[in-house]
Structure 1
Amino acid sequence: MYGVAWFGILGPLEVTAAGRPMRVSGRSQRELLAVLLLRANRLVSIDLLIESAWPHAPPASARRQVQNAVGRLRNTLTGGGLPGDLIETRPGGYLLRAMADELDTLTFERHVEQSRRASAGRQWDKAVARLRAALALWRGQPLPDLDNDLVVAEARRLQERRVEVLEECLDLELRLGRHHQVAGELAALAEEHPLRERVCALLMLALYRDGRTAEALRAYQRTRQESVSELGLEPGPELRRLEQAILTGDDSLKPEPAVSSPSRPRQLPPDISDFTGREGVAEELHGLLREGGPGNAVTVVSIAGQAGVGKTTLAVHVAHRLTGRFPDGQLYVNLQAYPMAPADVLARFLRALSVPEADLPRGLEERAEEYRSRLADRRVLVVLDNAVDEAQVRPLIPGGRGCGVLITSRRRLAGLPGARLTELEVLSLDQAVSLLTRILGRERVAAEPRAARGLARLCGGLPLALRIAGARLLTQDWPLERLADAMADERGRLDELSYSDLEVRASLALSHRGLSERAQRLLRLLAHLYAPDVAAWTCAALLDLEVAEVRPLIAELVEARLLAVSGARYHLHDLVRLYAKETGTQDPAPAVARALGGWLALAERAHTVLSGGDFATLHGTAARWTPAVRERAAAITEDPLAWYDTERVNLVMAVRQAADAGLDELCWDLVASSYTLFLTRAHNDDWEETLRCALAATRRSGNRRGTAVMLMGLGLLGAYRHQYAEAVVVLEESVGTFRDLGEHRGLVYALGVAAHVDGMLGRYEQAVVRHEDALRAHRARGDRGAEILLLRSLGQLLVEIGAFDRAQPYLEQALEAGRAGDPRIRAEVFYWLGQLRLGRGEIDGAEAAFKEMLGISEELRDPREEAEARYGLGLVRLETGALGAATGLLREALELNRPLGEPLTDGRIRVALGMAHHRRGEARQAIDQLSAAISTFSGLDAPLWEARACRALSEAHGDAVAARRLRERARDLFLQVGSPEAEHVHL
């Protein structure tokens, strides 16, 4: 088995295989390896190797001796655990192949290149960090024990390179104003290299900026004397000019700003002078953003509420009050102003932060990285107005604690981790009257108090309606009572609530009259859908037409400004929707049912494509509107998750509408057909909402089969959330209902989920028996998809309890059976194969499995699977002793998991991270991570993992009494779940 290679030549020659130092004995072997490493990834000719070994008089057998020496070196490396093809034989010579993270000189140059890219963008902090990382690789003089002429010459070149990079680093640090911190380092460097004029210049500049002008001039004199004495030359013109600038106190010697002045954007819309009715919530939001949250997370505040309720007004008002808290600027965007994809918003923000158009990164991820880097050390408030959903917002959230984010949305964005949510309701009657007072003036409202209150009631406390009413009263100079009387009639209310460009019914009625009859019907039917926006197929479903037939009607509505278009999506303004619902008398129920049936057909198709078949899912008898599938089949086949991302909100709303319409069979089937989509994207809140909505609908209608399926879904969701106690309750009812109905397939599915929950609760023997029973039943029915799930689940369970030999065939069968199936399941199988191989000490096999999983997860853009894959690779590095790499991978996994809210995964990563800190001698960090993991596992009722965390903490704890108590706790927990690991806990 071959492990991870590491070669070090920035100091004494160092070779490591799988984290273990390897001895390369014999001067000739060490010199040969050094030459190959100094020219890694380049052909080293045999003639050069001969000249290196025998610089004066090579023997006649020199070529053969070199060939034999290379053979012996290969044997040494492979005997130590490195691959045999590390040194390749090429025509005329040899080539040692090394990756950037396998040879310190290559790692050094990679850091330098990254620094220069950051420096080109004036990201000097980032540039300095990369150069310091490069310089930290040096362990002393390169290859000091080898006196081979070629090696000695290359070592000198490397030393010169180090000084050049150190000069570059210190130059950047001076640009950042760190003159006081680097003055001592520069003085030592000048002592070591008295003739390097750049070092002298940097030292003079640091001393001058630190207020030590006399010392700066003495540094110049020392270098001048050295130059005249040693070389017979005066210092160069640059150094002489610097001396003169110091003597005259030239302003050019002051530090230049790291960020140019245009990068302090002020994009907020103007505040309003008559802000009222929201003082309490404004003060609360102001306090949240002013104080910030705990830890290093950016403070995110989200305001939710219906259209016209005043979300934007509140957000802009609060943002203006926070100018002093965020002196580096305010970024603002209306996300519904026109089609605003996150990548487009990031481009707009980056331009505002002085990124030239030509330097804008191309992709979403790269733009998000650049955006976070630009704001990392700054205090900027980001206002995201009219957000559609969490997916639109997430890439726009900075990473630095100094920033704040204020979001408005009609939806409650509960999927944003750590966000403070504020629900904005309509104004109370008193607040509404106060707003009218601010608009119209105190005297006018005081003259008609009763009419003012009546008008406030008729506007329903909606700020938009109140402002329209106020604008009309100001311009027309009507008594308040006159407008109140006019609005009292519901049939005329929309007509009265119009002013200038805020007109509603008059222009709507005029536009509506110009429509064809079929376009009018389409508009009315669209108004009855809960979906906030729709595709063309939805319009076709409402009218039971082909998409090609309905497109002219859509164009007619768009042209009349009654239907808004964003890309290939269409939506109604709220007031248009209100108007359209009042038109016509035909029953909309059949048309709505067709549209809901279309979403059902499409969700079923997306599930089938994503899973590689219609596996592990029960369906109902509700009618599908299949033309939708014909229309969208190609897009769904190419990328089912992209379709889901577009339709996610509509799927949730379709479930609600089906429940409200009494379409219980369609309702539960839609949820069952969508669960893989919710699960893959970790939209657990949406999944739970739809499950509970459909469950209520099926219970109301007495639909026992649908009820059992929804209960099983809640059990599966509980298992993914590690809420096993709740899962047990719903699964017991689901299993019982399926038995009563004689629904064999559903029963076996529910038993499979129950078996997994048994395993997670430590009921291992019962779980294995249930798994095997369910597996036999699925094989008998030929349900391949469910069989793969059970094979994976059973393999996972056996790996968890250390039964590797029993687990292996199940996992290998799952991998073979699932090659053309759901890639997410394949990723999970690779994960457990990696854990199995790691448990057996098969390091390379484990690494290969986790890398396969990582590739799949990155292709799926699935953060849950990517977090697990990086956790697995972190365990591999931990096992090989590469503790720095292990810590990095585990921290990446922790960050990926953070927004997902997966506590079991969080705890497992922290156990590994704690072990890495312990082995690095970082006791405090180890104890913190392991203590947090124990708390998590205890709250989840996960005894096996709690035991492992206790055992790890006992090893890291410095208190012998506490360590013994932890070992006792670990042993008791291992015994509780019947784990053989109890035998390895020594009291």
Structure 2
Amino acid sequence: MTREPAPRWQRVSAAAVVIGSLSGGIATDLIADAVGSNLGPVTWLVAGGLAAVAAIVLLALEFRKRRAAEWEDPPPPVPRQRAGVPTDLPYTYGFAGRDADVEWAREALESEHAVALVGRRGVGTSACAVQAANTVRDRFPDGQMYLDLRAYGRPMRPRQVLAAVARKLGARPPRSPRAADLAATGAELRARLGERKVLLVLDNVADPLQVRHLLPPAPQARLLMAGAPSLSTVDGVAVRWLGEPDRTDAVRLLADARAAAGRRTAPSEPSTKDLVELCGRQPHAIRALGQQIGHRGWRAEEVLATLRHVVTAPAHQKVPHAEALPLLAERDIAYRALSGPARRLFRLLSLAPGPLDRPAIAALRRNPDQALEELANGGFVSAAEGGRYEVRPLLSGYARLHLRHDEPARRRIWAYARLMRHLARQAERQDAEWLVLHHDLLRALVTASPDGPATIVDPLPRRVRRWWFRLAVALCAWYAAENRTDEWEQVCQAALGTRLGGDRSAVAGWAHNELGVIRRRRGDPHGAAAVLTLAVTERGRRGQAQARTNLALALLDQGEVDTAIEHLHRAREHRSPGDRAGQALTHLGLGAAYLARGEPSKARHHLVQAANAFEAAGDRRGYAAALTNLVLAQWRLGEHLDAAHAWAAALEVYEVIDDPAGRAAALLNAGAAMVNTDPPRGEPARELLTEALRLRTQRRPDAALGRTLLHLGDAELAMDHPTRARERWQDAAGVCEEVGDAEGAAEANHRLAD
């Protein structure tokens, strides 16, 4: 391999030192001649200072030169060949694996005139093509030629390609870039080859137009190409797609590179497998890393731990062996070939732990369409359901390395804040279809990494934490509506485990309040009361209102009616007058509490206020819940007609909002009210309670199921079916004992005793 010239900055700096020294000497002589010999010491002082500066600069240049030589890249897998210089086919360096691909190319060259190995840049198409060509050298005794179509750092034009091939064959280059002259040169090349058995290898083909006039080749000649996937669109070319090497081949490549640098290793080490995966199985990066591991004597497990720590550590924290980060980031050939906007979008996409749709991608970077198309064509991102895109899983670790290396911490934080703001606002709209599509992403952002992605500094700025909390609240609201208590609890536990939950009592109070509601839904009023008590002490005056309301409902489930009413009245005092939804919830709780204490008149008053407030706010679910409890109050007051209207309206609303649990509660209350009249209305009560039982059996057993069976037995007794009534009461006693409803079990056993 020829030695490359010194970098431009070294040449410029050396020239500047020489010119500065000469200028300083001339200026010193002029000053001495003009002033006289009295400034002799000053002259020597100035000259000595300039010489010292020159020496320091030269030492710095030498140090940088040695440092660059120490980190010199390993020899490329295909030696660099300058276009226009007739050369034989080069040999590959450090080639490992790809046995099936090489064998396919060997067989294809026997029958096909033009063969292409295509894939995204950096996956080893060049090395594989040259390796395959070397295995068939003996088939082409008239010559094997190699041409790199990116030899000067940029793709060659069609005229340049034809001119380079013509010089290799001793033919005339095309006169102009016109199509007629290019076609004439291509025909002359085929005529000159005639029946000669020649193999022409074209490397780094970026566009089919570069090789269009070389197709088809001469009858006995063969054309082997390595390049972009667009070659698959050319007619008459046998194409094979090459992805990244598999893990076994990648480990072999790393082991060979380490051995070539003087350090042998067992290729079966678990750390080496994880290391090549972190490198995205990019051959160039693996070889460069393997050479440095062997040269410096690093252990593979230490390098792996270091690279993982580099990705996960805060930006301000120093890490050992941090030089391994630029070693990998700067060797990603495919990444460096991207445009600047595409590179930045690729880095920023690694902030999201899942696929993003186009509006979310636009939140990361404005006008992403062109960059996103470039990433998709280059195999950096993959499409997902719903028009979403994500970084390919194999490249996700490499993307985070680039994010850490190329993106400043301040810009990472801003981009992440914009993404969280967009997702939080979308989630607050409670669009069920959108939430279902993006649920995995939202849950990962809130629970898997609650303090933000690992590449962002910790603690997070306030703007990021605020949007993270709003996203958590919106996600929990959806979980509550869908009754997904397991995921709901997971989000709350994540909030308690963050610094945000530990430093701010308001966040911890919100999380404990949500956990109390979850435990109450699961039929654990004692556990709910314990957690809600913490929520009351942690939240402020305004936040206490909802926590006290939920605590009162939990106490009401335990039979502590007076204490529950006291908490509900205090919740009314703490709520803002403008919080109509909160006031409606408190009135609903007071209505249920007064019903439990046997004061139907007060219960009716609060339940009517709750129903009116919910209806005015457009909360159909709350409106139906208020009507469901109003049925019992009105029936106990003898207002049977009003009660019938109330439960009919409640059932109508529950059919619209598709709430089986609420519909079952409305049916239970209406059936219980009918069966407890004098005389009891057994037949309509049984119909209502049977439907409620059907809805209850689809869910986990709870106290409401036991009460449904209890009143269904009463309805059977009112219809003179004592045997069926006893069966229902026995089932009710069993369910009540199972769920811990001692009062319901006692009532069922009392009926069985009678």
TM-score by length of 2: 0.50
In the alignment, is residue 454 of structure 1 matched against residue 273 of structure 2? no
Asked if structure 2 preserves the Cα contact closer than 8 Å seen for 1:659 and 1:694, the reply is no
Q: Compute the displacement of 1:744 (Å).
A: 1.9
Asked if structure 2 preserves the Cα contact closer than 8 Å seen for 1:672 and 1:710, the reply is no
- For 1:591, the equivalent position in structure 2 comes to 415
- For 1:523, the equivalent position in structure 2 comes to 346
Helix, strand or coil: the match of 2:341? helix
Provide the rounded CA distance (Å) in 2 between the counterparts of 1:735 and 1:821. 28
Q: Compute the displacement of 1:774 (Å).
A: 2.0
- For 1:45, the equivalent position in structure 2 comes to none
Q: Compute the displacement of 1:565 (Å).
A: 3.1
- For 1:258, the equivalent position in structure 2 comes to none
Change (3 A) 1:700 1:855: closer
Helix, strand or coil: the match of 2:444? helix
- For 1:601, the equivalent position in structure 2 comes to 425
Provide the rounded CA distance (Å) in 1 between the counterparts of 2:267 and 2:667. 62
Q: Compute the displacement of 1:792 (Å).
A: 1.0
Q: What amino acid is the match of 1:679?
A: A
- For 2:530, the equivalent position in structure 1 comes to 729
In the alignment, is residue 778 of structure 1 matched against residue 575 of structure 2? yes
Provide the rounded CA distance (Å) in 2 between the counterparts of 1:910 and 1:570. 51
- For 1:652, the equivalent position in structure 2 comes to 443
In the alignment, is residue 909 of structure 1 matched against residue 731 of structure 2? no
Asked if structure 1 preserves the Cα contact closer than 8 Å seen for 2:712 and 2:725, the reply is no
Q: Compute the displacement of 1:592 (Å).
A: 1.8
Change (3 A) 1:569 1:951: same
Q: What amino acid is the match of 1:925?
A: E
- For 1:579, the equivalent position in structure 2 comes to 398
Structure 2 gap ranges (5+) = 1-246, 252-263, 282-297, 308-327, 453-457, 676-680
- For 2:656, the equivalent position in structure 1 comes to 859
Provide the rounded CA distance (Å) in 2 between the counterparts of 1:702 and 1:533. 31
Q: What amino acid is the match of 1:597?
A: R
- For 1:954, the equivalent position in structure 2 comes to 750
Change (3 A) 1:536 1:850: farther
- For 2:563, the equivalent position in structure 1 comes to 766
Residues 391-443 of structure 1 deviation map (CA, whole Å, 9 limit, x = unaligned): xxxxxxxxxxxxxxxxxxxxxxxxxxxxxxxxxxxxxxxxx99xx9xxxxxxx
- For 2:473, the equivalent position in structure 1 comes to 672
In the alignment, is residue 809 of structure 1 matched against residue 605 of structure 2? yes
Helix, strand or coil: the match of 2:384? strand
Change (3 A) 1:887 1:864: closer
Asked if structure 2 preserves the Cα contact closer than 8 Å seen for 1:667 and 1:694, the reply is no
Asked if structure 1 preserves the Cα contact closer than 8 Å seen for 2:733 and 2:744, the reply is no
What does 1:352-751 correspond to in 2, within 5 Å?
454=268, 458-459=272-273, 512=335, 515-530=338-353, 532-543=354-365, 545=366, 549-561=367-379, 562-584=381-403, 585=405, 586=407, 587=409, 588-603=412-427, 605-606=428-429, 640-656=431-447, 657-660=449-452, 662-663=459-460, 664-698=465-499, 701-738=502-539, 743-751=540-548
Asked if structure 2 preserves the Cα contact closer than 8 Å seen for 1:659 and 1:693, the reply is no
Residues 484-521 of structure 1 deviation map (CA, whole Å, 9 limit, x = unaligned): x9999869x9xxxxxxxxxxx9xx96765664322222
Residues 893-930 of structure 1 deviation map (CA, whole Å, 9 limit, x = unaligned): 1234x1xx462333333333444566643256324421
Residues 242-287 of structure 1 deviation map (CA, whole Å, 9 limit, x = unaligned): xxxxxxxxxxxxxxxxxxxxxxxxxxxxxxxxxxxxxxxxxxxxxx
Change (3 A) 1:928 1:451: farther
Over aligned residues, Cα RMSD in angstroms?
4.1
Q: Compute the displacement of 1:794 (Å).
A: 1.0
Helix, strand or coil: the match of 1:818? helix
Provide the rounded CA distance (Å) in 2 between the counterparts of 1:744 and 1:517. 51
Asked if structure 2 preserves the Cα contact closer than 8 Å seen for 1:890 and 1:912, the reply is no
In the alignment, is residue 868 of structure 1 matched against residue 665 of structure 2? yes
Q: Compute the displacement of 1:793 (Å).
A: 1.2
In the alignment, is residue 922 of structure 1 matched against residue 724 of structure 2? yes
Q: Compute the displacement of 1:457 (Å).
A: 5.9
Residues 738-789 of structure 1 deviation map (CA, whole Å, 9 limit, x = unaligned): 3xxxx3211333222222222222111121122123223426x432121011
Asked if structure 2 preserves the Cα contact closer than 8 Å seen for 1:851 and 1:873, the reply is no
Q: Compute the displacement of 1:937 (Å).
A: 4.2
- For 1:825, the equivalent position in structure 2 comes to 622
- For 1:893, the equivalent position in structure 2 comes to 695
Provide the rounded CA distance (Å) in 1 between the counterparts of 2:441 and 2:638. 48
Provide the rounded CA distance (Å) in 2 between the counterparts of 1:527 and 1:937. 47
Q: What amino acid is the match of 1:809?
A: H
Provide the rounded CA distance (Å) in 1 between the counterparts of 2:343 and 2:707. 58
Q: What amino acid is the match of 2:450?
A: A
Residues 118-164 of structure 1 deviation map (CA, whole Å, 9 limit, x = unaligned): xxxxxxxxxxxxxxxxxxxxxxxxxxxxxxxxxxxxxxxxxxxxxxx
Provide the rounded CA distance (Å) in 1 between the counterparts of 2:670 and 2:346. 55
Change (3 A) 1:806 1:799: same
Residues 597-648 of structure 1 deviation map (CA, whole Å, 9 limit, x = unaligned): 2223333x32xxxxxxxxxxxxxxxxxxxxxxxxxxxxx5xxx333333333
Q: Compute the displacement of 1:833 (Å).
A: 1.7
In the alignment, is residue 932 of structure 1 matched against residue 734 of structure 2? yes
Provide the rounded CA distance (Å) in 2 between the counterparts of 1:951 and 1:676. 36
Helix, strand or coil: the match of 1:583? helix
Change (3 A) 1:674 1:821: farther
Change (3 A) 1:515 1:845: farther
Provide the rounded CA distance (Å) in 1 between the counterparts of 2:584 and 2:685. 36
Asked if structure 2 preserves the Cα contact closer than 8 Å seen for 1:871 and 1:909, the reply is yes
Asked if structure 2 preserves the Cα contact closer than 8 Å seen for 1:914 and 1:926, the reply is yes
Q: Compute the displacement of 1:676 (Å).
A: 2.5
Q: Compute the displacement of 1:686 (Å).
A: 1.5
- For 2:29, the equivalent position in structure 1 comes to none
Who wins on radius of gyration, i.e. which is larger? 2
Asked if structure 2 preserves the Cα contact closer than 8 Å seen for 1:715 and 1:731, the reply is yes
Change (3 A) 1:533 1:845: farther
Provide the rounded CA distance (Å) in 2 between the counterparts of 1:572 and 1:895. 44
Q: Compute the displacement of 1:853 (Å).
A: 3.0
Provide the rounded CA distance (Å) in 2 between the counterparts of 1:858 and 1:577. 46
Helix, strand or coil: the match of 1:645? helix
Asked if structure 1 preserves the Cα contact closer than 8 Å seen for 2:627 and 2:650, the reply is yes
Provide the rounded CA distance (Å) in 2 between the counterparts of 1:769 and 1:798. 11
Residues 704-723 of structure 1 deviation map (CA, whole Å, 9 limit, x = unaligned): 23222222222233333332
- For 1:41, the equivalent position in structure 2 comes to none
Provide the rounded CA distance (Å) in 2 between the counterparts of 1:854 and 1:554. 50
Helix, strand or coil: the match of 2:402? coil
Provide the rounded CA distance (Å) in 1 between the counterparts of 2:628 and 2:481. 16
Provide the rounded CA distance (Å) in 2 between the counterparts of 1:858 and 1:560. 51
Residues 537-587 of structure 1 deviation map (CA, whole Å, 9 limit, x = unaligned): 2212222x3xxx234433443444423131233334421323322334213
TM-score by length of 1: 0.39
Provide the rounded CA distance (Å) in 2 between the counterparts of 1:684 and 1:865. 17
Provide the rounded CA distance (Å) in 2 between the counterparts of 1:721 and 1:520. 49
Provide the rounded CA distance (Å) in 2 between the counterparts of 1:764 and 1:926. 29
Q: Compute the displacement of 1:684 (Å).
A: 1.3
- For 1:217, the equivalent position in structure 2 comes to none
Q: Compute the displacement of 1:807 (Å).
A: 0.6
Q: Compute the displacement of 1:882 (Å).
A: 3.8
Helix, strand or coil: the match of 1:564? strand
Q: What amino acid is the match of 2:340?
A: E
Q: What amino acid is the match of 1:787?
A: Q
Change (3 A) 1:883 1:737: closer
Provide the rounded CA distance (Å) in 2 between the counterparts of 1:866 and 1:784. 24
Provide the rounded CA distance (Å) in 2 between the counterparts of 1:707 and 1:805. 38
